[in-house]
Amino acid sequence: MNRCALLHRLWRLDGQRHARRLRQALADPETIQRALLRQLLERNAKTRFGRLHGFTAIRSLDTFRERVPIQSTDALGEWIEAVRAGEQGVLTRDPVTRLVPTSGTTGPARLVPWTRGLQRQFGRAIGAWTHDLLDQDPALMGGPAYWSISPAGPRSSEVPGSAVPVGTDRDSAYLGRWLAPLVDATLAVPDEVRRLETREAFRYATLLFLLRARELRLISVWHPAFLTLLLDALPGYRERLLADLEAGTFTPPGEVPADLVTALGRRLTPQPIRARELADLDFLDATRLWPALRLVSCWQDARAAEPARALATRLPGVRFQAKGLLATEAMISLPFAGRYPLAVTAHVFEFVDETGRSRWAHEVQEGERYRLLVTTAGGLYRYDLGDQVEVTGRLGGTPTLRFIGRAGGISDLCGEKLSDAFVGAALEALLAGLEVAFAMLAPERDSRGRPGYVLFLEIDRIPDALAERLEARLGENPHYAHARWLGQLAPVAIEPVRDAQRAYLSAPVHRGGLGDIKPTALDAREGWRRRLGGKRRGA
């Protein structure tokens, strides 16, 4: 048995308990959700948030709903600031080990608290998923895997004014202390690659380590465009990659800190046989580069559906598995037993219907759409994720879900999660004092076919460098900045329009009368260039 197979078997064995617990819980989601909520309330009753909302007096799911209002990212701001300042016992009894950036609604990045309790919750869901994955296809254990979970860039670090480290940790930290090093040893691409701060160096290093892994079995990414862009970059680096493979060196493009070059270089050994094998292959044919590749896990719902289909055509014979719904704050659903059930053993969930009524997992109806609320061991209580899901059926008594998109004026082409309120605040600041007849950001493709955003603007004179300044403001959302860094999104563009308000109001995409059309800074629907008659001006 090879080393990868042995380590994967140990990982699979650890996940067995989580899979068994999930199977039992699926039959009766109400009981497990009540138990999880009771544990969280008892553990955090003496926190400042718990005392304010009377956790000790809450005895039921319904009382919890009555006593604790729905929390938005922005509403949590003052609580997170107290945590950041070093105050203990604010939201959780567990110490906050780091604050992880995620997008805000009206402002730039917000911070989500990470605790040992939250790690255990993630671990339950991820453990059940990976056990099911390896159990269904044991051949996946025969070689290394590539997992891309957290964004590339610096890890947790000390930030001025913060008593708690801010940033992401190693991807394997989701799995716990003892399992993390075991899983790291099965990875084709070492975690240090995420620290490369230029897109070219990050892509090059990722491709170099992937090409070294001839027996690569599994690739797990979020948006399929991430993997497509990696594959597109292969031919351009061909000669450099072959030379580094043969010599066991690391010569990334651009300027890279010497300590990182050294650290990654230590992981490399000469592979002249692999280099000669690859020299005879077409770098556009990924299935020949990795002949043992069996599975790609990526988003396939909502706006990711078409990019996933396009990627699948480039990898014939490779099975694709749609991911469950996972956010920085919580694991919502997971692939399990051929379905996508709610992660009922991880967190406490509520589903808000179109009337604003909140329902529990055992109360939702098949075919209906809901907005998700989550309560976690990280100190989020009735937190509005902003994700909209459809209930597709049940596995046992637990709802299975399909991601529909972002609720409440959210545009999410490839994970950037721009909200109407956030874009509105940016435009208000950039266009302050100017006479603007119409301003609206909307998704459009650029001349090269790349997805991105266009600001349709009706104004006498477009301010100098407006596109650059708008790009900088949008980049305050870390998800948008990461999508731009990876090249998944084109730079924002400005297009002047005339008589745009009339064209917008008369567009056939609107339903109902004129009184039902609300002004918006962001419209997530495509096609506005044609409807408004925009004339391109690049960034």
Among residues of the chain, what percentage have pLDDT more than 70?
A: 89
Are 146 and 246 in a shared domain?
Answer: yes
Are 289 and 433 in a shared domain?
Answer: no
How far, in Å, are 115, 234, 247, 294 from residue 281 at the CA level? Answer: 47, 12, 19, 19
CATH of the domain at 472: 3.30.300
- Domain boundary residue among 262, 287, 322? 322
Two tokens, residue 145: 């895997």
Is 42 domain-assigned? Answer: no
Domain that holds residue 419: 410-532
- Domain boundary residue among 322, 346, 361? 322
Are 312 and 454 in a shared domain?
Answer: no
Are 311 and 414 in a shared domain?
Answer: no
The pLDDT score that the predictor gives to residue 160 is 66
pLDDT tens-digit map of 228-246? 989 999 999 999 999 999 9
Two tokens, residue 412: 């999410």
Are 291 and 434 in a shared domain?
Answer: no
Are 317 and 418 in a shared domain?
Answer: no
The pLDDT score that the predictor gives to residue 171 is 62
The pLDDT score that the predictor gives to residue 489 is 94
Average pLDDT over residues 391-404: 95
Lowest mean pLDDT among 64-68, 195-199, 237-241, 465-469: 195-199
Domains held by the chain: number: 2
Average pLDDT over residues 178-205: 86
For residue 408, pLDDT beyond 70: no
Lowest mean pLDDT among 162-176, 179-193, 218-232: 162-176
For residue 512, pLDDT beyond 90: no
Is 39 domain-assigned? Answer: no
Are 437 and 298 in a shared domain?
Answer: no
State how far the Cα of 240 lies from the Cα of 163, in Å rounded to an integer: 43
**How are beta strands 348-352 and 319-322 bridged, if at all?**
unpaired
State how far the Cα of 535 lies from the Cα of 539, in Å rounded to an integer: 13
Cβ atoms of 436 and 448 within 8 Å: the answer is no
State how far the Cα of 323 lies from the Cα of 392, in Å rounded to an integer: 15
The pLDDT score that the predictor gives to residue 6 is 85
Is 361 domain-assigned? Answer: no
Are 314 and 416 in a shared domain?
Answer: no
Is 53 domain-assigned? Answer: no
Are 118 and 262 in a shared domain?
Answer: yes
Lowest mean pLDDT among 184-188, 320-324, 354-358, 519-523: 519-523
pLDDT tens-digit map of 272-307? 999 999 999 999 999 999 999 999 999 888 767 878
Is 193 domain-assigned? Answer: yes
- Other beta carbons less than 10 A from residue 348's beta carbon: 29
Phi-psi region of 89 (alpha: psi -120 to 50; beta: other; left: phi over 0): left
Q: What is the pTM of this model?
A: 0.82
Is 367 domain-assigned? Answer: no
Are 423 and 283 in a shared domain?
Answer: no
- Domain boundary residue among 322, 339, 371? 322
Are 302 and 414 in a shared domain?
Answer: no
The pLDDT score that the predictor gives to residue 417 is 84
For residue 492, pLDDT beyond 70: yes
- DSSP of 283-303: TT-HHHHSTT--EEEE--SGG
